[in-house]
Chain A
Amino acid sequence: MLAKRIIPCLDVKNGQTVKGTNFVNLRQAGDPVALGKSYSEQGADELVYLDITASHEGRKTFTEMVSRVAAEVNIPFTVGGGISALTDVDRLLNAGADKVSINSAALRRPDLIDEITNHFGSQVCVVAIDAQQGADGEWICYLNGGRIPTERSLLDWAHEAQERGAGEILFTSMNHDGVKTGFANEALRQLADTLTIPIIASGGAGAQEHFRDAFILGHADAALAASVFHFGEIPIPRLKEYLRHEGINVR
């Protein structure tokens, strides 16, 4: 049976993981390659690396890091952050990334999705959506890491992304992100039940139960988190054991 995936997400700035970690015996806690390798050894199913550098120099450093991850890590990994053209995708896939995640650039120019999937296949194209639920209950998509609201609704944009060939949707609830009270299960379920591509839940993980709920209530195919893993609050082996005990198929 296909397993539900657990995906740690690493924010990378100038070649270093930002947000501290408290892994014991990890000589370079800030090294994204060592950290990714350690997650892989603990049983993470995939990794996501987000480039949060703005400078051109930083981009180059990130690409070099992608090559090192590809050389050392034996599970699939996605890279994202600042991808706005086919040349960015080509550079990162050539460096060894398995998938790319696109966000604002796709909202600004949806054809980017068609271009990527026509060139490299749907399986490499993850469309990340940051959305916020307003007082009226409507979910609205945001640009630039949640700074600029758009007029697109979450469901509408997710469906368009699928039609254009996206291989997966990575949905981050801005209402839940960082709050650690669980994922946006209702919205997740709506996405999962109406789309035919996998949905990755993101934003809100604070306890093991939240992952269970994202899978059982939210019908998510995968769940992504950062700080609960980085700070060792939820060790991946323990999380997997818990999920298995709750009847969820994990690797």
Chain B
Amino acid sequence: MKVAIVKYNAGNIYSVVNALRRLGIEPEVTDDARLLQKADRVIFPGQGEAGQAMSYLKAHELDKVICSLRQPVLGICIGQQLMCRHSEECNTECLGIFPIDVLRFKPQRHEDKVPHMGWNTVSTDATDELMKSSDGKFFYFVHSFYVPVCKFTTATTNYILDFSAALHRDNFYATQFHPEKSGDAGEVMLKRFLTL
């Protein structure tokens, strides 16, 4: 199976490479439109800042490429947020695959620290093909912005409020957490993505 990872100016790409290697897959990290289109799976990882990431994607015309992909695509963390319509982070217009706006956490109590950092549980119903069997499991999160619960939400997590831990629309999947850093639960989910 050919897995391509979108190469852009976001950190954390090599954590995804390592996680795939642990599953016996040697991914290709590329910003070449043709290679991305030809891959069986595309992963759009992330950690970084939405404004700068979007400018980079646009400058390299990767925005159009990502939106036009037909195979299963998985956005992770900032990847998920960039797949939404707009982000409050730097007031950024994003890819619009999920027509929903990304918001900044507003702490309600002193204990509500931002970023939301660490292991948190997800709630999901048994029907979603990617998140199936992840209900109640802990995943690793690091983020200050969140995707509100919407009709594309396939899993939720509670921190300050309920927000989207995972999204799905057609061939596009996304998680706010980092499956590549989420121990065994993350590995199970990545494997599931590869067998969708």
Please list the residues of chain A having a beta carbon within 8 angstroms of any beta carbon in chain B. Answer: 1-3, 5, 40, 45, 70-72, 74-76, 93-94, 96, 98, 120-124, 167-168, 193, 196-198, 219, 221-222, 251
Q: Are A193 and B119 in contact (CB under 8 A)?
A: no
Q: Are A5 and B47 in contact (CB under 8 A)?
A: no
B120 — which chain A residues lie within 8 A by C-beta? 1-3
Q: Are A121 and B113 in contact (CB under 8 A)?
A: no
Q: Are A167 and B115 in contact (CB under 8 A)?
A: yes
A168 — which chain B residues lie within 8 A by C-beta? 117
Please list the residues of chain B having a beta carbon within 8 angstroms of any beta carbon in chain A. Answer: 11-12, 14-15, 18-19, 21-22, 47-49, 107, 110-111, 113-121, 138, 140, 142, 158-159, 178, 180-184, 186-187
CB distance from A85 to the nearest CB of B (A): 18
B180 — which chain A residues lie within 8 A by C-beta? 74
Number of A-B residue pairs having CB atoms within 8 Å of each other in the complex: 77
- A contact patch SS: loop
Q: Are A123 and B15 in contact (CB under 8 A)?
A: no
- Decide yes or no: A3 and B138 within 8 Å by CB, A75-B181, A221-B113, A222-B118 being known contacts: yes
B118 — which chain A residues lie within 8 A by C-beta? 2-3, 5, 45, 198, 221-222
A121 — which chain B residues lie within 8 A by C-beta? 11, 47-49
CA of A233 to CA of B64, assembled, Å:
56
- Decide yes or no: A98 and B15 within 8 Å by CB, A40-B183, A221-B118 being known contacts: yes
**Cβ-defined partner of B115 (8 Å) among A94, A120, A123:** A123
CB distance from B89 to the nearest CB of A (A): 11
Q: Are B110 and A76 in contact (CB under 8 A)?
A: no
Q: Are A123 and B18 in contact (CB under 8 A)?
A: no
- Decide yes or no: A251 and B138 within 8 Å by CB, A70-B18, A74-B186 being known contacts: yes
Closest 6 CB pairs of A and B: A251-B138, A3-B119, A251-B119, A123-B142, A2-B120, A76-B181
- Given A198-B113, A251-B138: 13 more A-B contacts, CB < 8 Å: A1-B120, A3-B118, A3-B120, A5-B119, A45-B118, A45-B119, A70-B15, A121-B47, A168-B117, A197-B113, A198-B118, A222-B118, A251-B119
**7 A-B residue pairs with CB within 8 Å:** A45-B118, A74-B180, A75-B181, A76-B140, A122-B115, A123-B117, A221-B113
CA of A75 to CA of B15, assembled, Å:
10
Q: Are A2 and B183 in contact (CB under 8 A)?
A: no
B159 — which chain A residues lie within 8 A by C-beta? 2
CA of A74 to CA of B191, assembled, Å:
14
A222 — which chain B residues lie within 8 A by C-beta? 118
